[in-house]
Each structure stands twice: as structure tokens, then as C-alpha cells.
Amino acid sequence: MFIIDRWEEIFVTIRKNKLRSFLTGFSVAWGIFMLIILLGSGHGLENGVHDQFKSSAVNTLWIWGGQTSLPYKGLQPGRDIVFENADYTNIKSGVQGIEYIAGRSFVWGDNIIRYKSEYGNFDIRSIHPDYGPIEKVILREGRFINPLDVSKNQKVACIGIAVKEALFKNEAAINAYVNIQGVPFKVIGVFEDDDGRQGNQRTVYIPITTAQQVFMGRDQLQTLAVTVASNEIADSKRMEEEIRAKMAAQHNFDKGDDRAMFIWNAVEEFKKFMDLFAAIRIFIWIIGIGTIIAGIVGVSNIMMISVNERTKEIGIRKSLGATPNSILMLIMQEAIFITALAGYIGLVLGVGVLEMVSPYIKSEFFRNPEANLGIAISATIVLIIAGLLAGYIPARKAVAIRPVEALKDE
């Protein structure tokens, strides 16, 4: 009964001061609302960056040749640096810490691929077997290019799921032959890409050596991809320097010539983005909690005013035997109730707004802004702490009121 009476008193007090209670609660609700919106937006930016890296392993060094800009040992600048199979072998055997390594070359020209009466224009990439895990290829049927295919110059192809749907319709693709620039290739696998992008699904992979022999007519690699086994930036930088030194010695250019060869260090770039988002999350929490603190101060001030208005009432309670703890709990319970209710409304509204706008956001760098379970739990904890802080000082003041002073005539 005592607990019920306490709740009745809280509701009576709120009804007596509707506008004051509303404005107080609004400040807390707005603080939580903004915190959820900011955290959800930060999460959306992070999702966008993750999607940009999702198409390939984030621990990859991407290497491609350029054109020399410095003279070297009597050689003039302006020479094109073209990678060869020997470069692949040299790096694979001479650089420590490699997880996967693969060369890649595009097959240019007539990319019309035919099967019976069906045909389409698709990307054709010639690769080494390790390119599968580097590009996060997911096999739906059959197998990927293997070392035997490369060593034997096999005319085999692993096709994207969009290629299968376009050419084979409902027919089985495995062991069928497709025509690539007049040359029959046996389909050994069907894949989909980990990031689910339609463009990557419209790709056909063939062995690098087969492409060099049949389509290119020369020993050439357009790009090399190397993954760092440790995922550590220090190791990636070491490997980057070792690769640059080996390629410079192999192709006779100054290893300090930044235009002769380019290396994109995904390990370093991904870490930069993750550090940036960690800083953004901290900044958001600081702004959000600052806004909530403003609301807490408002609640605390209102509770102080309430205590001052109820000084005589509290004096009567104490003179009738009310314990300090009961007075303390009454004031703190009212503060926690106002803070929790307002904060929960702000939380629900924030999550609702994020859920409503999320389907309409199509930007590549901003995807699925949402407040996950962790954010909701964190916000709830903040609300509980906020309510305790808002009610503690006014409650202590109420406990300190002396009945004699509270009941004397003014």
C-alpha cells in the first residue's frame, strides 16, 4: 500500500505541474533522441565504409605498374613498368608474411560470351587460384580455378551467378561449354560475390596462363594482390617496402620513384577508417551525454523547486514518523520516473526515425543507419544513471529538512 501511495503522490505532483513536467521531460527526451540519431548516423557511415571494403579482403596490398619518372642507371624516365609471371613467383617466394597472392589481368576486346542461342557481354578476368579468397568469392556450385588449371593452361571458367542466369536460364551450367571469343571453355563453377553487387556477379574467371596464351599472346600481369597474414599495419608496411625493392631490382627503376609502381595498402587504409569512426563514436557520446546532462540539470532544478514547495508537507511527514529513507525514495523515485519515461520516449522516437529513413537512403557511403541492441542498452543505462543523479541532490535536501523549521509560521 505504501508503494501504491507513493506512486499516487508522484502522479498528483506531475498533474499539478503539467507544463513544468512536460518541459523537463522534453529536455531529457531530446537528449536521448539526438544521441540515438547521432549514433545511428555514425553507424550508417561505418556501414558504408565497410561495404566499400567488403568486395575484397581488407588485409590486401594491391600492386600495379606505372611509368618511371626518374632516370636510373642510364635509363631514361617514361618507361612503362609491366608485371610478368616472374614477378608473381619472385614475390611469392621472397617476401615473408604472405597469406594469399594472385595476379590478375582483364581480357579486353569482344567480351560476348555465348551458350547455344544465348549470349551476353560480361567481364572476363584471368587470375591465379588465390584470387578467390582475396575477392571473397562464394561458390554456389562446382569449384574455383585451381593450381592444376593454371599449370596446364586449362580452358575452364568459373562464372558469376548473373552470368549463369543470363546464359543457362534453368539449365545446369557445370560441365557445359561456353564460347569466349571463339574459344570453348568448360564451366567448372558458379559463384556469387560476398558483397552481393550485381557488377561482380557478371564476371567470368579463367586461369591466368590460359588467358596469356590464348588471348594476350604475352606473359603479362596487370595487377598483383597480396594479403598480409598478420593483419598488422607494421607487417603490411614491411611487406610493401620489400615488394617495392624487389620490383625495382627486377624492372630497373629507382625504388624511390613513386610513379613507377603503385601499392594501395588496404590494411593501413582500413585501420585509418576504423580509428576515425572510433573517434567519431567518442565525439558523438560526448555531445549526446552533454545534451543529456543539460536535461538532468533541468530535472534536478525542477525537483529542487518541488522540494522547496513541499517543505511544509515534508516537515509534517517527518513529524509523523516518516523515515529519512522514505523521503529520499519519494523524491528520487519521482526524478527517475520523469527521466526514464521521457528518455524512453526519446529512445523510441530516435529508433523509429532511423527505421523510417533507412530504406530510402541509397548512398554507397551511408548505409543502414540503425541503433543496434548495444546502443539501446547503453542508452538505457545512461537513463538510469541520469535519473539517479537528477534526484539525488534534491532528495538529500529534502532529508535534511527539520520538522520544526518546516512547520513554523512564516
What confidence tens digit (pLDDT) does each residue in 67-113 have?
A: 999 998 888 999 999 999 999 999 999 999 999 999 999 988 778 89
Q: Which of helix, strand or coil describes residue 227?
A: strand
Residue-wise pLDDT for 203-257, tens only, equals 999 999 999 999 888 888 999 999 999 888 899 999 999 999 999 999 999 988 9
Q: Give dist(CA 18, CA 24) in Å, integer.
A: 10
Maximum average pLDDT range among 123-132, 340-349, 352-361: 123-132
| pTM given for the model | 0.69
Question: In this structure, which amino acid lies at residue 172?
Answer: A
* 353 vs 232: CA distance, rounded Å: 39
**84: helix, strand or coil:** coil
Tens-digit pLDDT profile for residues 149-173: 999 999 999 999 999 999 998 899 9
End-to-end CA distance of the chain: 34
- pLDDT for 364 equals 63
Query: What is the mean pLDDT of the segment spanning 343-355?
Result: 83
How far is the C-alpha of 208 from the C-alpha of 88, rounded, in Å? 12
Beta-ladder partners of 189: 142, 158
Cα within 13 Å of Cα(194), Cβ side: 15
Q: Is the pLDDT of residue 262 over 50?
A: yes
Containing 140, the helix (H) or strand (E) segment is strand 137-142
Q: Over 60: is that where the pLDDT of 195 sits?
A: no
Cα–Cα distance measured from residue 159 to residue 123, given in angstroms and rounded to the nearest whole number: 10
Q: What is the CA radius of gyration of the chain?
A: 34
Per-residue pLDDT at 329 exceeds 60 = yes
pLDDT at 21: 74
Evaluated on CA atoms 315, 316, 320, 323, the torsion sign reads negative
Phi, psi values for residue 113, rounded to 5°? -115, 130
**What is the average pLDDT across 273-278?**
78
Measured CA to CA, the distance from residue 164 to residue 142 in angstroms comes to 13
Give 251's Cβ-side CA count (13 Å radius): 28
Rounded Cα distance, 80 and 115, in Å:
38
Please give the pLDDT value at position 387: 67
> Which range has highest mean pLDDT (45-54, 207-216, 319-328, 334-343)?
207-216
DSSP β-bridge partners for residue 205: 125, 158
What integer pLDDT is reported at residue 410 of this predicted model? 47
Contacts of 86 (CB under 8 A, 6+ apart): 219, 250
Each residue of 358-387: b (16+ CB within 10 Å) or e? eeeeeeeebbebbbeeebbebbeebbeebb
**Residue 201 pLDDT:** 85
Distances in Å between the alpha carbon of 77 and those of 71, 73, 87, 258, 263? 5, 11, 21, 12, 19
The phi and psi torsions of 157 (rounded to 5 degrees) equal -145, 140
Q: Is the pLDDT of residue 176 over 80?
A: yes
Cα dihedral 227→230→233→239 (10° resolution) = -50
Matching residue, cell 527517475: 336
- C-alpha triplet 39, 43, 279: angle, nearest 5°: 70
**Confidence at residue 369, expressed as pLDDT on a 0 to 100 scale:** 74
Q: What is the model's pLDDT at position 398?
A: 66
Amino acid identity, position 355: E
How far is Cα 215 from Cα 107, in angstroms, rounded to an integer?
Answer: 7
pLDDT at 1: 42
**Is pLDDT above 80 for 307?**
no
Task: Give CA–CA dist 228/240, Å, rounded.
Answer: 10
Identify which of 34, 13, 22 has the alpha carbon closest to the alpha carbon of residue 341: 22
* pLDDT at residue number 148: 96
- If residue 193 lies in a helix (H) or strand (E), which one and from where to where? strand 183-193
Residue ranges of alpha helices (H) inside 55-118 are 85-94
Cα dihedral sign for 179, 181, 187, 192? negative
Look up cell 526524478; give the residue: 335
Please, which pLDDT band fits residue 136 given cuts at 50, 70 and 90? confident
> Over the chain, what is the mean pLDDT?
82
Which amino acid makes up residue 51?
D
Q: What is the mean pLDDT of residues 6-10?
A: 69
The domain locations on the chain are 2-53+275-407, 67-259
- Checking if the pLDDT of 281 tops 50, the result is yes
| Angle at the Cα of 376 from the Cα atoms of 370 and 380, rounded to 5 degrees | 155
Q: DSSP secondary-structure letter at 238?
A: H
Q: Residues 271-289: what's their mean pLDDT?
A: 77
